[in-house]
Amino acid sequence: MSHRQHPIGSGFDAAATADDVLAGVDLSGTNVIVTGGHNGVGLETTRALVKAGASVTVGARNIERARSKLGDVHGVEVGRLDLVDPASVDAFVVRWLESGRELHILINNAGVTASAELVVDDRGYEEQFATNHLGHFQLTLGLLPALRAAGGARVVTVSSGAQRFGEICWDDPHFAGRGYDANVAYAQSKLANVLFAVELDRRASGDGVRAYAVHPGVVVGTNLNSSVGEDALRQMGLVDDAGDPIIDPESGKKTPQQGASTSVFAATSPLLADTGGVYLVDNDVAPLDDDPRPMSAEGPPTAAMSHSVDPESARRLWELSEKLLAG
């Protein structure tokens, strides 16, 4: 299969921070939306973009909590956005479109991991798939008029190394008729993030909208792993005996500032001007590697898999997603 998953030699390594990527970049006049841009990697993404001059709107379920978390990041607009509530997504989109603003960058950063038990939304949709993929799918489609109006825009969706092990269960994505496994559900949602970027880029690049999926690395202290006990994190090699995070960017263990760098790189780098529909890691386009070695192996794999960027699967997921949103 012909593909675009080839590193481009960005000049940034795994240890680069979002500020490193944006050094000398002026984003004045650039309108940005960051979902979940008030916590962990999202907060550092917001902070770096604002520092570079961008006007940033953060989408959050709890506006007051988001404002509190943003703290000293001044001038950020916060809008209510609950990705598992279609009415909330629609209302967020309407508010933006009615403002008449162009949208230059959309960063679909928010995400959840579910508990060991199956959790579904009001539609009966599995929570991780509904939040991580479907909510962002609905949001992005709604904002397409503003993205097109920008005359050159980017959509960045935060995925995970778990995309390598994901499979879309086309007949039962919500585990209605099969045993639930939270890890399987998470990997499915993260694979969906990559496939979404592939198909969105195919459909929208002609209108100047490019799409990317990114892997931020493993960042201890984010919402996605805050519910994991310290013992489990220690067994995973993510914290030391004192409970402090182990930072080793080359093996994917990053600070929030380092984790935010690839999102910012995808959103702003001129090196990607003619490239889209790709999966990025460590501030570069990830290579393609179908070696199925496990995540726990020394030097965990971060490459894309052929099935993760398969255009036929990407089109099929788009069609499935449209049907699910239609109810």
Q: What is the dihedral of CA 32, 142, 63, 262, to 10 degrees?
A: -40
- The active-site residue out of 125, 186, 212, 279 is 186
CA–CA gap between residue 80 and residue 173 (Å, rounded): 27
Question: Any idea which residue has 């726990």 for tokens?
Answer: 296
Cα–Cα distance for residue pair 83/133, rounded to 1 Å = 9
CA–CA dist 60, 144 (Å, integer): 20
Residues 6+ apart with CB under 8 A from 114: 126, 127, 128, 182, 185, 186
- 212: annotated active-site residue: no
| Other beta carbons less than 10 A from residue 151's beta carbon | 11
Distance CA 275, CA 124 (A): 37
How far apart are the C-alpha atoms of 208 and 144, rounded to whole Å? 11
Tokens 């009001």 identify what position? Answer: 122
Q: What is the DSSP letter of 120?
A: B
Contacting residues for 225 by C-beta, under 8 A, at least 6 apart: 113, 218, 219, 233, 238
Tokens at 304, concatenated: 């894309």
The three-class DSSP label of residue 80 is strand
Beta strands in 190-277 (DSSP E): 209-215, 218-219, 253-254
Q: Give me the active site residues, please.
A: 186
